[in-house]
Amino acid sequence: MKLYKYQQELIDNSHKNYIYPLDTGTGKTIISINHYWKHAQGKKLLIVAPAQKVREGGWDREIKKFKDYNKIDNIDYKVISYNKLKNVNGNNIQNTYLIFDECHYIKNYKKTQRSKYALNLCKKADGFCLLSATPASNGYQDLGNYFIIFGFYPSGYKYEKEFAVKRFNNIGFWEIKEWRNTEKIDEMWKSISSKALMKEDCVDLPPLVFEECYFDAGKEYLSIKKDRYWNGIIFDNTSKVIAGLRQSAGLKDKLEYLKEFRANTEANILIFYNFNREAREIKKIIKVDFEVSGAVSNIPKFDDYDTLKGKTTLVQIQAGGAGIELQYNSEVIFFSPTWSFQDYSQALGRAYRIGQKNKVTVYKYIGKRTIEERVYARLDEKKDFAEKLLTDEDLGGTFDD
């Protein structure tokens, strides 16, 4: 796929070992693949990402797109989770380039073993690239391990000794109160990092971008489809099976992915859902700040839109399709698809208006090999989905209702 101008400029100005502190929706994945190809073409590629992103398969899809667009026969790559870092043999990695997705996972040089594993691999690998929308959410405190990885300091303690001002706190422990000579820290960071970009800074990025996120169907979905039974419930007619399949498609992995996504961005997120069960499960894993459903309507005042940051709004699609404005969100998630194209279209209209300041990325969560794939195929054709379109294969057999 062709790069946007801002993406190409970032790559053109990059170094082999580099950090891209870029906002969600700016294309960090495809930027890093092109970065690897520019600086380490022909080398093996090892991508380290959160387990939820590994399971979702986005890296595999993006590498396939890159290969198809550039007519490349093969890239020798592997995608692993951070939990698997300890299993990587550092003695056999000299011919391998590394990409660390969500690199803030390895920013803590004091407590996590994975940071030490990553440091060891970076020292021995052909090169490395780090990606995160929030590489240093706690400021200068978080930069220590990056500077160790890039060879500025032998340890985080050396970094702190030079720049941290410490004093005893009320319970007798040393505590960092402030940082000195921050101009030097900033210059070091600039030498290893691209400029930080928000979506609004990317002038040639379309105002509305769609991304598809795929998840395994899950044990519950497969059990309902095959056995018509789950957790003490018998699904003995068509309506019950359809409801069960719709509510369970990829649910577990969707929730884990959503939790990770919320933790890794300071953007405002709008989540559209269909079923009360989905809302309950979502509220268990993330903080919901605003909500619209058949029972409640709690949204911020228009005058407060520009001050909102890191907020989550949960909207039942049937209740939030019309009459409300939600343009303070730049990330929109359809947790599951509605069967109504009108509801789908109106929901998009709540989150995006032509000419608004925020550029919007819409994420469609889709259970692989579930009825959700067929539903979205109809919605993409601007058509409703209906029960009559489901086959016996979709439902796991015939029913005599």
Where residue 270 sits, what CATH number does that domain have? 3.40.50.300
Boundary of a domain, candidates 199, 222, 237:
199
Q: Do 180 and 219 share a structural domain? A: no
Q: Do 91 and 235 share a structural domain? A: no
pLDDT tens per residue across all 401 residues of the chain? 789 999 999 999 999 999 999 998 899 999 999 999 999 999 999 999 999 999 999 999 999 999 999 999 999 999 999 999 999 998 899 999 999 999 999 998 776 789 999 999 999 999 999 999 999 988 999 999 999 999 999 988 899 999 999 888 777 777 889 999 999 999 999 999 999 998 888 888 888 899 999 999 999 999 999 999 999 999 999 999 999 999 999 999 999 999 999 999 999 999 999 999 999 999 999 999 999 998 888 989 888 988 999 999 999 998 855 567 888 999 999 999 999 999 999 888 888 876 577 889 999 999 999 999 999 999 999 999 999 998 888 887 765 54
Asked if 327 and 297 touch (Cβ cutoff 8 Å), the reply is no
Asked if 339 and 372 touch (Cβ cutoff 8 Å), the reply is no
Residue 309 domain flag: yes
Cα–Cα distances in angstroms (integers) from residue 236 to residues 3, 223, 229, 230, 232, in the given order: 51, 13, 8, 11, 12
> Measured between alpha carbons, how far is 101 from 81 in angstroms, rounded to an integer?
10
Boundary of a domain, candidates 141, 172, 199:
199
Boundary of a domain, candidates 199, 217, 243:
199
Residue 50 domain flag: yes
First to last CA, the chain: 48
Q: Do 120 and 34 share a structural domain? A: yes
Residue 10 domain flag: yes
Q: Do 220 and 127 share a structural domain? A: no
302 burial (CB, 10 Å; 0-12 / 13-18 / 19+) is exposed
Residue 400 domain flag: no
- Residue 166 pLDDT: 87
> Measured between alpha carbons, how far is 111 from 113 in angstroms, rounded to an integer?
7
> Measured between alpha carbons, how far is 398 from 401 in angstroms, rounded to an integer?
9
Q: In the numeric block, which tokens belong to residue 332?
A: 């929109």
- Return the ∠ at Cα 304 (arms to 299 and 307), rounded to 5°: 115
CATH number at residue 195: 3.40.50.10810
> Measured between alpha carbons, how far is 274 from 333 in angstroms, rounded to an integer?
12
Q: Do 192 and 319 share a structural domain? A: no
- Residue 205 pLDDT: 82
> Measured between alpha carbons, how far is 130 from 164 in angstroms, rounded to an integer?
24
Residue 40 domain flag: yes
Q: Do 190 and 162 share a structural domain? A: yes
Quick one: angle between helices 58-70 and 28-40, nearest 10?
50
Q: Do 221 and 75 share a structural domain? A: no
Q: Do 174 and 45 share a structural domain? A: yes
Domain that holds residue 12: 5-199
Q: In the numeric block, which tokens belong to residue 396?
A: 């796991």
- Residue 400 pLDDT: 57
Residue 307 domain flag: yes
- In the 3-class helix/strand/coil scheme, how is 116-131 assigned residue by residue? HHHHHHHHHCCEEEEE
Q: Do 128 and 213 share a structural domain? A: no
- In the 3-class helix/strand/coil scheme, how is the chain assigned residue by residue? CCCCHHHHHHHHCCCCCEEECECCCCCHHHHHHHHHHHHHCCCEEEEEECHHHHHHCHHHHHHHHHHHHHCCCCCCEEEEEHHHHHHCCHHHCCCEEEEEECHHHHCCCCCCHHHHHHHHHHHHCCEEEEECCCCCCCHHHHHHHHHHHCCCCCCHHHHHHHHEEEEECCCCCEEEEEECCHHHHHHHHHHHECCCECHHHCCCCCCEEEEEEEECCCHHHHHHHHHCEECCEECCCHHHHHHHHHHHCCHHHHHHHHHHHHHCCCCCEEEEECCHHHHHHHHHHCCCCEEECCCCEECCCHHHHHHCCCCEEEEECCCCCCCCCCCCCCEEEECCCCCCHHHHHHHHHHHCCCCCCCCEEEEEEEECCCHHHHHHHHHHCCCCCCHHHCCHHHHCCCCCC
Q: In the numeric block, which tokens belong to residue 339?
A: 């069967």
Q: Do 172 and 264 share a structural domain? A: no
Residue 401 domain flag: no
Asked if 224 and 235 touch (Cβ cutoff 8 Å), the reply is yes
Find the radius of gyration of the CA atoms of the chain: 23
Q: Do 134 and 279 share a structural domain? A: no
- Residue 394 pLDDT: 85
Residue 56 domain flag: yes
Total-model pTM = 0.86
Q: In the numeric block, which tokens belong to residue 310?
A: 């890191």
Q: Do 236 and 215 share a structural domain? A: yes
- Residue 303 pLDDT: 87
Q: How many domains are contained in the chain? A: 2
Asked if 151 and 142 touch (Cβ cutoff 8 Å), the reply is no
> Measured between alpha carbons, how far is 279 from 374 in angstroms, rounded to an integer?
23
